[in-house]
């Protein structure tokens, strides 16, 4: 039976609910699908930084903007192995790797595949974000044991060309189709506070929710205003609106992990607590997210303790074994 699709107006009606009513509904949905006190923990590593040919107006890695970011080559495999082991020791269950490419060449992909295998050897889940993929490239990543592929749609179709002009939202959706067809879990979300309207946020969320299958992971970023980018001076989004967006995402995508991603270091502990109540159940853990600052790891541990939250260990992760002995075949 075909599931009903969400209409943008339905999402807007949710946004317009009284705050307490919206959060009560989101928390109710959340408890029907998840342990309300378990949070999935990921770590993100930039494996290739800078010189991206895209013109994403929020991004420090675009070669089109002078942000002071130096171009770096693809990280050596040993550095990735060391970073993955350190992430596991700090409690991460998923290790994500990002490369600033429009789309990887087959040669570049083979090097990333070696990195995926190194991460799998630790017992963690592996995720990469490499730009657009061809179907056969998605297949190669699946064969290597990749668990998740991240490719954000960033914003609504209506607002998209105000953010990026070097690729279309349809290009992004096509890559998500290739990932899904290869049997890899989809990680796709976007950035809030880029000057979009509430209607744009509703449209963005319904686009994700109405995919053939909603993404297993939905990262929601608060814009980090980076000097040198065209969005350096965009007014900040009201944190209450950010919480509302988390809640609407939870209701529209009840089985997805909703992740607090970039921009979290600018949110108070109290705002983050409201986000967890609204249905967020995943975070990036560690001091750096690609090129932007993230919340301090020790502060996150203290916050988890204060809120009674515990790290979620996904099925298939073998984190109870030493990293050197976890089999390379571990998968989600």
Strands 125-129 and 310-312: unpaired
Q: Which residues contact 79 (CB under 8 A, 6 or more apart)?
A: none
Closest of 46, 48, 50, 45 to residue 67, by C-alpha: 50
Contact 88, 319 (CB under 8 A): yes
Contact 65, 227 (CB under 8 A): no
Active site residues: 52, 56, 59, 96, 127, 187, 259
Length of the chain: 332
In whole angstroms, how large is the CA radius of gyration of the chain? Answer: 19
Q: Is the pTM of this model over 0.85?
A: yes
Which DSSP category does 257 fall into? E
Question: Could you read off the pLDDT tens digit of each residue along the chain, which spans 332 residues?
Answer: 467 899 999 999 999 999 999 999 999 999 999 999 999 988 989 887 766 777 777 887 776 666 666 666 888 999 999 999 988 888 888 999 988 787 889 999 999 999 999 999 999 999 999 989 999 999 999 999 999 999 999 999 999 999 998 888 999 999 999 999 999 999 999 999 999 999 999 999 999 999 999 999 999 999 998 888 888 889 999 999 999 999 999 999 999 999 999 888 889 999 999 999 999 999 988 654 444 444 577 888 899 999 999 988 776 666 555 445 443 333 32
Q: How many CA atoms lie within 13 A of 41 on its CB side?
A: 22
Residues tagged in the binding site annotation for [2Fe-2S] cluster: 96, 127, 187, 259
What angle separates helix 19-33 from helix 239-252, to the nearest 10 degrees?
A: 40
Residues tagged in the binding site annotation: 52, 56, 59, 96, 127, 187, 259
């Amino acid at each position: 039976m075909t599931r009903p699709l969400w209409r943008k107006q339905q999402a807007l009606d949710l946004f317009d609910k009284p705050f307490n009513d919206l959060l009560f509904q989101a928390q109710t949905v959340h408890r029907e699908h998840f342990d309300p006190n378990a949070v999935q923990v990921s770590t993100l590593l930039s494996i290739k930084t800078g010189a991206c040919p895209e013109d994403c107006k929020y991004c420090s890695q675009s070669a089109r903007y002078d942000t002071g970011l130096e171009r770096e080559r693809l990280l050596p495999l040993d550095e990735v192995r060391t970073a993955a082991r350190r992430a596991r020791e700090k409690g991460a269950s998923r290790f994500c790797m990002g490369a600033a490419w429009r789309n990887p060449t087959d040669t570049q992909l083979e090097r990333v595949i070696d990195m995926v295998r190194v991460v799998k050897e630790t017992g963690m889940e592996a995720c990469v974000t490499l730009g657009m993929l061809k179907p056969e490239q998605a297949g190669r990543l699946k064969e290597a044991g990749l668990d998740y592929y991240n490719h954000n749609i960033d914003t609504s179709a209506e607002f998209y060309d105000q953010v990026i002009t070097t690729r279309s939202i349809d290009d992004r959706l096509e890559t998500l189709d290739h990932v899904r067809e290869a049997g890899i879990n989809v990680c796709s979300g976007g950035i809030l506070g880029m000057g979009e309207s509430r209607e744009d946020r509703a449209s963005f969320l319904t686009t994700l929710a109405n995919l053939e299958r909603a993404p297993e992971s939905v990262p929601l970023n608060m814009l980090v205003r980076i000097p040198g980018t065209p969005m350096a001076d965009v007014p900040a989004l009201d944190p209450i609106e950010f919480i509302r967006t988390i809640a609407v995402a939870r209701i529209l995508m009840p089985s997805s992990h909703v992740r607090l991603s970039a921009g979290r270091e600018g949110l108070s502990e109290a705002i983050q607590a409201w986000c967890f109540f609204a249905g967020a159940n995943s975070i990036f853990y560690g001091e750096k997210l690609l090129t932007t600052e993230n919340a301090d790891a020790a502060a996150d541990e203290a916050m988890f303790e204060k809120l009674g939250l515990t790290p979620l260990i996904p099925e298939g992760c073998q984190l109870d074994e030493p990293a050197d002995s976890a089999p390379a075949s571990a998968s989600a």
